[in-house]
Amino acid sequence: MGFKHKDIIGLQDLTAEEIELLLNTAENLKEINSRDIKKVPTLRGKTVVNLFYEASTRTRTSFEIAAKRLSADTINITASTSSVVKGETLSDTARNILAMKPDIIVMRHAASGAHHYLAQRVSCSVINAGDGAHEHPSQGLLDMLTMRQKFGKLAGLKVAIVGDITHSRVARSDIYGLSKMGANVFLAGPPTMMPPGVERLGNVTVCKDMREAVEGADVVMMLRIQLERQGKTLLPTLKEYSRYYGLNNNVLQLAGKDAIVMHPGPINRGVELCSHVADGAQSHILKQVENGVAVRMSMLYHVSGGELTAE
Amino acid sequence: MGADSTVILDGVGVKRALTRIAHEILERNKGVRDLVLVGIRTGGVHLAHDLALRLEEIEGEKVPVGAVDITLYRDDIKGHAEHLPVGKTDIPFSIEGMKVVLVDDVLYTGRTIRAAMDAIMDHGRPSCVQLGVLVDRGHRELPIRADFVGRNVPTSRKENVQVVFDAENTPTEVILQK
């Protein structure tokens, strides 16, 4: 069993075995991050371009650290400081970057499907670091790794995902990934933020009330209210949102006694997550960030393995 | 076993070879002080544990055993159609200033040993690294030699040497396949 993809655009495109392989590799790579010398020579001579059209601290830093720990050279391009502000198209930017012979492009883009478009036009590997409201596969993988470390397996877990499902690429990657691995996903959120037909994406149950989703759950995943991404029309007030869809200790008590709380970050404290829970014993939020580096190392390792057939 | 395989070492032979290697390690290092064993995944790890038991029997002291996976340090990574699965490197002790005995089952081109030495150096600076192998089959491509050898076996490059382990990871025999 090997990993045969040139690109990782979404977990929708991967099989359960491929997800398992990525997680197993990540688990074995974790050890490097606790060494004194946090570097292995595996991707020596490879160039990784981080092309970020949207703001990001965690994901971009995490990908950069992951690439550096595998000895790849990294270049960061952020849209706000590049020719993109002069009106260059994605296709032109890609062609110009490609002329400098990178091996992997890690991209974040506001348009869903931008990676698919890019991957068809370049011979190097493309890794999706988040595209619009489509997918965020590295986040999905690190979420699954964190759950697997806690519970030893993914099959049969009850995972509640609460918040703005419509705008969440994290939710989509989690739904695809978790469904393939046999976990059951329960969604809750305001009706204005629940996409119709979301049940068809996988093992998904839509709950009317947040409590229904959280009850007996092994994992409670809170999504960030993306104040920058949506107009004010979907929510009456943040206070009301927090009252019905915020996680506090009272609601968390409904979950299983070993339940863990997760959040893709950055947290809006006091909105979707109260500080007691965010900093509480059940919070695995920093564990997610820690696992993020190992998961991204695994992704970079596996996409760079193949002889590229695209050329 | 097929008609074109021969047993180079049987179960008793393997045991004798490992016992001798254990004595040689102790003689060379004057005991087990500051001594650690690091096996190369996967055969070398099993042998390292076996050797550690023998050292303990003779000296009455435990010797730490670690495992090193060399996948990330290979020099032929581009030759594979896809990247190999990564095993776990597990060296749960400091090797700084220690005498490290690297253990592998079969010594062949020496490239695995080169990779393993790089991997070990990334964990610290041992005072020395010695190499113990159950079988040395020749055909070195790098200037590497073993300090402790169970059996030297002249082979052709077309042949394959395999150390067989049972379900408990105890080495049972060494076979040569044509």
**Are A301 and B86 a contacting pair at CB < 8 A?**
yes
**Are A42 and B77 a contacting pair at CB < 8 A?**
yes
Q: Measured between CA atoms, how close is A32 to chain B, in angstroms?
A: 9
Using an 8 Å CB-CB cutoff, list residues of chain A that contact chain B: 2-4, 21, 24-25, 27-29, 31-32, 35-37, 39-42, 70, 298, 301-302, 304-307
Close Cβ partners of A91 (under 8 Å, ≥ 6 residues apart): A117, A121
User: What whole-number distance in Å separates Cα of residue B42 and Cα of residue B54?
Assistant: 19
pTM of the full structure: 0.89
Residue B81, pLDDT > 70, answer no
What is the residue range of B23's domain? 5-177
Residue B21, pLDDT > 70, answer yes
Beta partners for residue A52, in sequence order = A78, A108
- Residue B125 sits at the chain A interface (C-beta within 8 Å): no
**Interval A284-309: pLDDT, tens:** 999 999 999 999 999 999 998 743 33
Residues in chain A with CB shorter than 8 Å from the CB of B123 are 35-37
**Average of per-residue pLDDT across B120-148:** 96
Q: Which two tokens stand for residue A177?
A: 């990934």
User: What whole-number distance in Å separates Cα of residue B60 and Cα of residue A247?
Assistant: 57
- Residue B88 sits at the chain A interface (C-beta within 8 Å): yes
Domain count, chain B: 1
Reference B43, options B135, B115, B122, B121; nearest CA is B135
Residues in chain A with CB shorter than 8 Å from the CB of B81 are 2, 305-307
Residue A158, pLDDT > 70, answer yes
What's the confidence (pLDDT) of residue A311? 26
**Interval A197-223: pLDDT, tens:** 999 999 999 999 999 999 999 999 999
Nearest-by-CA chain B residue for A299: B83
Nearest-by-CA chain A residue for B76: A42
What's the confidence (pLDDT) of residue A309? 32
**Average of per-residue pLDDT across A68-84:** 87
What's the confidence (pLDDT) of residue A228? 66
**Average of per-residue pLDDT across B90-94:** 93
Q: Measured between CA atoms, how close is B29 to chain A, in angstroms?
A: 27
What's the confidence (pLDDT) of residue A231? 59
Reference A174, options A209, A219, A211; nearest CA is A219
Beta partners for residue B104, in sequence order = B133
**Average of per-residue pLDDT across A124-131:** 96
Residue B106, pLDDT > 80, answer yes
Least confident of A20-24, A70-74, A75-79, A188-192: A75-79
Q: What are phi and psi of A274, to 5 degrees?
A: -85, 155
Residue type at B169?
Answer: N
Residue A232, pLDDT > 70, answer no
**Does ipTM exceed 0.85?**
no
**Average of per-residue pLDDT across A128-152:** 97
**Average of per-residue pLDDT across B79-93:** 78
**Interval B58-76: pLDDT, tens:** 999 999 999 999 999 987 7
- Residue B81 sits at the chain A interface (C-beta within 8 Å): yes
Q: What is the mean pLDDT of chain A?
A: 91
Compute the half-sphere exposure of residue A45: CA atoms within 13 Å on the CB side of its CA: 4
pLDDT band of A230, cuts 50, 70, 90? low
**Average of per-residue pLDDT across B123-136:** 96
What's the confidence (pLDDT) of residue A304? 87
**Are A304 and B83 a contacting pair at CB < 8 A?**
yes
What's the confidence (pLDDT) of residue B82? 65
Q: Which two tokens stand for residue A309?
A: 């057939």
Close Cβ partners of A31 (under 8 Å, ≥ 6 residues apart): B88, B89, B90
Residues in chain B with CB shorter than 8 Å from the CB of A29 are 72, 86
pLDDT band of A95, cuts 50, 70, 90? confident
Q: Which two tokens stand for residue B138?
A: 């020749």
What's the confidence (pLDDT) of residue A229? 62
Return the DSSP state at A283. B
Residue B77, pLDDT > 80, answer no
Residue A149, pLDDT > 60, answer yes
CA distances from A304 to A29, A30, A125, A222, A263 (A): 16, 19, 7, 33, 29
What's the confidence (pLDDT) of residue B2? 56
Reference B85, options B96, B70, B64; nearest CA is B70
Number of cross-chain residue pairs from A and B with Cβ atoms under 8 Å apart: 58
**Are A305 and B89 a contacting pair at CB < 8 A?**
no
Report the percent of chain B where pLDDT is more than 90. 86
**Average of per-residue pLDDT across A11-26:** 96
Residue A148, pLDDT > 80, answer yes
**Are A305 and B73 a contacting pair at CB < 8 A?**
no
Q: Measured between CA atoms, how close is B116 to chain A, in angstroms?
A: 12
Residues in chain A with CB shorter than 8 Å from the CB of B77 are 42, 305
Reference B25, options B151, B150, B162; nearest CA is B150
| DSSP-derived secondary structure for B18-73 | HHHHHHHHHHHHTSSTTEEEEEETTHHHHHHHHHHHHHHHHHSS---EEEE--GGG
**Are A31 and B88 a contacting pair at CB < 8 A?**
yes
Residue B155, pLDDT > 50, answer yes
What's the confidence (pLDDT) of residue A94? 86
Which one of B81, B83, B89 has the shortest CB-CB distance to A301?
Answer: B83
Q: Measured between CA atoms, how close is B102 to chain A, in angstroms?
A: 19
Residue A238, pLDDT > 90, answer no
What's the confidence (pLDDT) of residue A296? 98
What's the confidence (pLDDT) of residue A225? 87
Q: Which residue has the higher pLDDT, A127 or A265?
A: A127
What's the confidence (pLDDT) of residue A306? 43
Is the distance from CB of A224 to CB of A265 less than 8 angstroms? yes
Residue B3, pLDDT > 70, answer no
CATH number at residue B171: 3.40.50.2020
* Cβ neighbours around A304 below 10 Å, total: 23
Residue type at A177?
Answer: G
- Residue B86 sits at the chain A interface (C-beta within 8 Å): yes
Q: Measured between CA atoms, how close is B143 to chain A, in angstroms?
A: 21
- Residue B77 sits at the chain A interface (C-beta within 8 Å): yes
**Average of per-residue pLDDT across A55-75:** 94
Report the percent of chain A where pLDDT is more than 90. 78
Nearest-by-CA chain B residue for A41: B73
